[in-house]
Every structure is written in C-alpha cells, then in structure tokens.
Amino acid sequence: MVFENQVIKDIINKYRVIWAIGHAQSLMGWDAETYMPREGVKERAIAQSELSVLSQQLILRPEFVELVDKASQIEDLNDYEKGVVRVLQRRIRIAKALPPWLVAEYSRVTQEAVVVWREAKQQNDFDKFKPYLEKIVDLARKTADYLGWEEHPYDALLDLYEEGLRTKDVDRILGYLEKEIKRVLDKVLSEGKYPREHLLEKMKYRREDMEKINLKTLELFGFPLGKRSRIDVSAHPFTQSMGLFDVRITTRYEGYDFKRSLLSVVHEFGHALYELQIDEKLMATPIGHGVSLGIHEGQSRFWENIIGRSKEFVEVIYPILKEHLDFIEKYTPEDIYYYFNTVRPSLIRTEADEVTYNLHILLRAKIEKQLISGEIKVDDVPEIWNNTIEELLGVKPRNYAEGVLQDIHWSMGSIGYFPTYTLGNLVAAQMKYHMLNEINIPEKILNKEFQEIEEWQREKIHKWGATYAPKDLLRKAFGEEYEPKYFIKHIEEKYLS
C-alpha cells in the first residue's frame, strides 16, 4: 500500500475534489488551444477564473489546512505520505501568502499586457509595452516580498516554478555554462563541421505526409494513442495531462522545415511519457503529476535532443521519412543528421540550437534577477538586452521583435520561469550519462528498443510523480543535484571531433 496513514487517507479523500477541478481546468485549457470555437473564449475565461478562485478556497478551508498541519507532525510517514504533506504545505503556504488583491491585480494586468505585448511586438514599439512591464515587475517584486525570501527576492519567484530553486543555484549553473558554452561554441564554429543552415529547412511538405511520419514515430516509441493519449494540432505545441490515464500532446504543421514538426512531437512525447509512467496508485492525489517544470523539461529535452537529434534515431526514421517525403531520396541519413543539428548563433530563443540555447536563457535570467533586485530599471532593459546578446552570441537585434519583445513570458507575468528551460537541458544530459552506465543508448535506438530506455526513466524519475522535491529526486536518482557538467560533456562529445 502506498498510503497507509489514516490522516493522509483523509487528506487524499478531501483533496479529490480539488484534483477534480484541476482535471476540469486541464481539459478546458487543452480545448481552448485545440477545438474551442473562437467566441467560446468569453465564457471559458469566466469559468477558468471562477474555478481558480474556488480551488484556492478549497485548499485554504480551515479543516483541510488543519488536517495537513496534523499530518506534518506525524513522524513515521512513508515517502509517498511525506510527499503529500510537502506538496500541500507548499500550495497552502503560497495560497496563504498572496493577498487576493495581488492575485486579482496580477491577473488583470497580465491579461491586458499579453494583448498589448502582441501589438507592441508587431509595431516594434517597446514604449507601448514598457508601462505594463514596469507594472508586472512591480507586482512580481511585491509577490516575492509576500512569499518571503532570505538571500535574494528572485529566490521567491524561482521557487514558484521550480520548487527549491534558488538564485545562487542559477548563478552557479549559468556562470559555469556561460564560460564553457562559449568555449565549445567557438570551437564548433571554427571547425565548421556542423553547418549553420541547411537546404532542407526550405523544403515543403504536405500536412498529410507529415502526420503519417509523426504517427509512425510515436508508434515506434509505443505511445498509447487512443488508449491513454491523443495528438492534435495547435498554434504552439504543448502537452496537457488530464491525469495518468489521459495525456495529450499537440504539434503544428508549418508546411516546411519538417524537423520542426517532428522534433516537437518527440519533445512533447517526452513530457507525456513522464505523466503516463507515474505510478497508477498516485492517481487523483496531490503527488500524481510531474514534480516541476525543470524536471519535466528534462524528460522532453532528453527525447528531443538526446534521442531525436542522434545519428541512430535518424537512421531509424530515415525509411519512414523516405516513404512519405519525396525530397528525402536526394539526401543521406548523414545529411538529415546535420539538418537536425545545425549550429547557428541567432537572435531568437525558440529557434536556437542545442549549443547556443542556454545563452538565451542566461540573458533573460540576468535581466530578471536585476529587475527584481532593483539594480536595473525596465528603461534599461532594451540596451542591456542588445549588448548582452551581442557579447554572448555576436549578433545584434535590428528591432525589438528580434530582441526584448520576442517572448510572451514576461507579458504573462512569468518572471523566474526561463531558468527551468536550462534546468531541462541539464537534466536531459545528466540522465543521458547516468543511463549510459547501464544502457547502450545508441544500440537501443538502432534496435528500436525504446521501451528499455523508457523503463529506466520510469524507475529513476517518472514513477515517483511529485513524491520527492526536485533536488531530492535528482539526488535519489543520480546522487547529485542539477549538475551542468554533463551538458558540456554532451555538446563537446557531440559537436567537437
């Protein structure tokens, strides 16, 4: 039995209605991006907001909070039970800390800000967005103060997205990465073995053909389509879990540069696999979901970069590509491999390659940290952005859309979110090298034995759901926390001869 203690059992019973609201909200979110008629948004927005407030109220019901307090004083809880207490205490702490006016104001300002950001980006007008970003930074600083922090206010925001992540972790990781990535990148560029761009980026495909390729790829991985999952189409690919038995991914079809559709499917598969492999006994409980954004991104990046961009994976899907895309016959698997792995210092984060990606995060994290501490002002951001990206990557934005206005995140109020992308890249590489101690990954890929890779992930990470806090989970799985050296090892071994 996973849950034995009676107090914990009571908590789980009472929690189920909160879980049910979350289930409904997940479906509503998925539907809004896939099938909802356009004007449905009016009522969907009201419903989402009402259910968010209701969910908070239920979490803060005195009898529920007391039960969680009571459980926290029991000494002989097992790990699952401790996990339940940890997750709920954290949710209660956050819900209690933030005054309703702040939550409402954040929601109001960011809803407007997203709209204004879109216009500002289109019109290349930073001044238009500036007052909103100022307001958001101000609200984020207030949020940090209400949540409480010891060493740096940015700590409080980081923790919202990645439980236990601190500014000093981010400094340590990004400091190391900056130095090391620049060293590797210089070499990769001077060796010139990996191209900066590829002819295949321009090749057009028909959506029906690409759909078949994506489905066959998911079939190779054993994705339980129709049984416990689906794949649909949305403007931006994402994974949504309605629970352990219903995890859905999306992709998009731009009609050219087919790796973007394929590798997004492989990426989202990695997210979905995490949720699908959580122990079924954790269904509808407070720990029945992936533990954090960083660990989640680790699973998706592992599949996208470690599996999806490998020579062996290209070998395996080459016949599938050839069957459905006419133009492939003019290219060898090696060509495809280099097409999957161009290295090009560029301005846009979402188009960045494996080697340069984390430098984009570095830039954002630096700015966020200083905005939150008050060292810099929103006014200074465009100049800092442009100078830093040039310093890091040798490229300079010609306009705001290529620079400070490129990402939606800040307009949504997500400050402290970006570092989880880098954590994902680190965890993926970390998983690779620990897995290599036990499993010959290239051979497994070549033999299409993906199941063994998946089982390894299940045992080390997935099955636990949110039982352990992120750092504890990593320590349990790998004997260490977020460790950037594997990522550097990975890009050195892959990109340098």
Nearer to a second copy, 51 or 102 (CB): 51
Residue placing its CB nearer to a second copy in the complex, 134 or 232: 232
Considering only residues 245 to 264 of the shown chain, the ones binding a second copy according to CB under 8 A are 245-246, 248
124 binding a second copy? (CB under 8 A) = no
Site for a second copy in 60-89 (CB under 8 A): none
Question: Active site residue: 162, 268, 312, 368, which one?
Answer: 268
Q: How far apart are CA 52 and CA 487, in angstroms?
A: 38
Give me the torsion for CA of 229, 233, 236, 240, rounded to 10°. Answer: -20
**How far is the C-alpha of 250 from the C-alpha of 267, rounded, in Å?**
10
CB neighbour list of residue 171: distance below 8 Å, 6 or more residues apart: none
Quick check: 268 binds a second copy (CB under 8 A)?
Answer: no
Q: Does 238 participate in binding a second copy (rule CB under 8 A)?
A: no
Tell which one of 1, 38, 73, 479 touches a second copy (CB under 8 A): 38
Q: Which two tokens stand for residue 56?
A: 């908070």
Cβ closer to a second copy: 38 or 190? 38
Is 215 a binder of a second copy (CB under 8 A)? Answer: no
Amino acid at residue number 399: N
42 touching a second copy, by CB under 8 A: yes
Q: How far apart are CA 179 and CA 87, in angstroms?
A: 36
Joined tokens for residue 387:
């100078």
**How far apart, in whole angstroms, are the C-alpha atoms of residue 470 and residue 492?**
27
- Does 12 sit near a second copy (CB under 8 A)? no
- Considering the rule CB under 8 A, would residue 16 count as an interface residue with a second copy? yes
Considering the complex, what minimum distance in angstroms separates the CB of residue 21 from a second copy?
7
40 forms part of the interface with a second copy (CB under 8 A): yes
Chain centre distance of CA 223: 20
Residue 99: alpha-carbon gap to chain centroid? 28
Q: Are 28 and 48 in contact (CB under 8 A)?
A: yes
Helices 153-161 and 167-191, packing angle to 10 deg: 70
Stretch that binds a second copy, among 149-157, 168-176, 221-229, 320-328 (CB under 8 A): 221-229
Interface positions, 279-308, toward a second copy (CB under 8 A):
283-284
Binding residues with a second copy: total (CB under 8 A): 44
Tokens describing residue 444 = 């497994």
CB of 459 to a second copy, least distance (A): 22
54 in contact with a second copy (CB under 8 A): yes
Q: How many helices (H) and strands (E) does the chain have?
A: 20, 3
Active site residue 268: yes
CB-facing half-sphere around the CA of 115: CA atoms within 13 A:
5
Size of the chain in residues: 497
**Residue number with CB closer to a second copy (166 or 289):** 289
User: CB atoms < 10 A from the CB of 430, how many?
Assistant: 26
Binding a second copy (rule: CB under 8 A), the pick from 4, 6, 35, 255 is 35
15 vs 486, beta carbon nearer a second copy: 15
Tell me whether residue 267 is annotated as binding. Answer: yes
* Residue 230 or 296 having the CB closest to a second copy: 230
Q: At residue 346, what are phi and psi to the nearest 5 degrees? A: -145, 180
- In the bound state with a second copy, the residue whose beta carbon lies nearer, of 27 and 395, is 27
Instruction: Select the residue interacting with a second copy from 9, 10, 33, 36 (CB under 8 A).
Output: 36
Q: What is the closest distance, in whole angstroms, from the C-beta atom of residue 408 to a second copy in the complex?
A: 24
Residue of 5, 9, 10, 31 interacting with a second copy (CB under 8 A)? 31
For residue 288, the tally of other CB atoms under 10 A from its CB is 23
Selected binder of a second copy within 5, 9, 23, 455 (CB under 8 A): 23
- Kindly tell me which residue out of 9, 10, 51, 215 binds a second copy, with binding defined by CB under 8 A: 51
Residue 317 token pair: 């899907």
Residue entry with tokens 């809004």: 32
The verdict on 19 binding a second copy (CB under 8 A) reads yes
Contacting residue, 17, 104, 436, 496, with a second copy by CB under 8 A: 17
Q: Is 28 in the site for a second copy (CB under 8 A)?
A: yes
Stated as kind and residue range, the H or E segment containing 249 is strand 247-251
- Return the structure tokens found at 142: 């207030």
Percentages of the chain per state (helix, strand, coil), in multiples of 5 = 70, 5, 30
Of 154, 213, 436, the residue nearest 445 (C-alpha): 436
Nearer to a second copy, 204 or 207 (CB): 207
Question: Residue with structure tokens 């390659």?
Answer: 353
Among 1, 39, 75, 497, binds a second copy (CB under 8 A): 39
| Among the residue ranges 24-32, 207-215, 412-420, 451-459, the one whose residues contact a second copy (CB under 8 A) | 24-32
Residue 161 in tokens: 């997205």
Contact 375, 330 (CB under 8 A): no
Binding residues for Zn(2+): 267, 271, 297
Active site residues: 268
Binding site for a second copy (CB under 8 A): 16-17, 19-21, 23-25, 27-28, 31, 35-44, 46-48, 50-51, 53-54, 224-230, 232, 242-246, 248, 283-284
